[in-house]
Amino acid sequence: MKTTREEAKENIHENLNNNLQALLEKNYDAEEGYKKAMTNAKNEQLKNFLKHQSAQRQKFATELDQEIRNINETPKDSGSATGKLHRTWMDVKAALSFNNDEAILEECIRGEKASVEEYEEILNKNRFEPKLENVLQSQKNTIQNTLNTVKSLEDLAENWNE
């Protein structure tokens, strides 16, 4: 029979694993979403920006993968069903949109807002070791900066296809 302390340790470990797995999945989804957006974009500068964002999310996924391995768990190896549906929606919206690049940026904004919210929720509801806290905070801050950049690009996109 487990002691209360042993159960508490297991619950803390399980919660940590679940939170890291959720963020890992979110980053897989974002990486694939940016790749999909890159193939649909028309503007070369936007394509390069999206390529960079995909690589950034791949880096985040690698960092989270390592953190999960550090707690002796097996990381997920793909994104979520919700992420796949979002990418399909991006394809449909891009096909129906007059200004394809602007539509892509709108979907990027939606995805980045969701990512920032998930990171904030996980960071606010949990206590992590300082090293891990710094990794997660840094990733969240980078995503927030990307969100701000995408919002600026959306304003510029109106003129790209003229």
Q: Does the residue 45 lie in any domain?
A: yes
* Separation between Cα atoms, residue 145 and residue 76, nearest integer Å: 26
Q: What total of structural domains would you count in the chain?
A: 1
Q: Does the residue 131 lie in any domain?
A: yes
Q: Does the residue 79 lie in any domain?
A: yes
DSSP summary character for residue 161: T
Q: Does the residue 118 lie in any domain?
A: yes
What average pLDDT values come out for the chain (162 residues) when binned by 10 residues?
A: 85 94 94 90 93 97 97 84 53 55 88 95 95 98 96 74 49
Write out the residue range of the structural domain in which residue 43 sits.
4-157
Q: Does the residue 16 lie in any domain?
A: yes
DSSP 58-127: HHHHHHHHHHHHHTT-PPP-S--HHHHHHHHHHHHHHHH-SSHHHHHHHHHHHHHHHHHHHHHHHHHH--
How wide is the angle at C-alpha 38 spanned by C-alphas 155 and 54, nearest 5°? 100
Q: Does the residue 162 lie in any domain?
A: no
How wide is the angle at C-alpha 38 spanned by C-alphas 53 and 61, nearest 5°? 35
Q: What CATH number is attached to the domain comprising 54?
A: 1.20.1260.10
Tell me the pTM: 0.84
* Separation between Cα atoms, residue 4 and residue 10, nearest integer Å: 10
Per-residue pLDDT, 8: 82
Per-residue pLDDT, 89: 52
Q: Does the residue 106 lie in any domain?
A: yes
Which residues does 122 contact at the CB level (< 8 Å), separation at least 6?
A: 19, 22, 23, 136
